[in-house]
Amino acid sequence: MPKQTREELERRRIERSIAILEDAVARCREENAPRAMVYAALQFLEMRAKEKWPFEQFRKSLESDGAEGWQAEGRYQMLNASLNGIKLAVKDLLK
């Protein structure tokens, strides 16, 4: 197996972190994703991004428990919008 460059390893870590956040969004209506993994992924990506607001918004939305049906939908909408902002914030790192 060929040796990977630092850039390739970094790109894979970024992609893996985004996948963790995508999983958290997908699960948020029914259950909570493992918070330690989600927060670690957020921190990893935030350290590399210029824009910080989508990360703060994602964290804030995670704090909502979504116990009521309408709260779960609102939580999903906020997490999804934040995730889109995060993807935009790190897109240049994936080129």
Our separate counts of H helices and E strands in the chain read 4, 0
pTM for the predicted model, two decimal places:
0.89
CA distance 66 to 76: 9
Give residue-wise pLDDT tens across range 49-88: 999 999 999 999 988 766 666 788 889 999 999 999 999 9
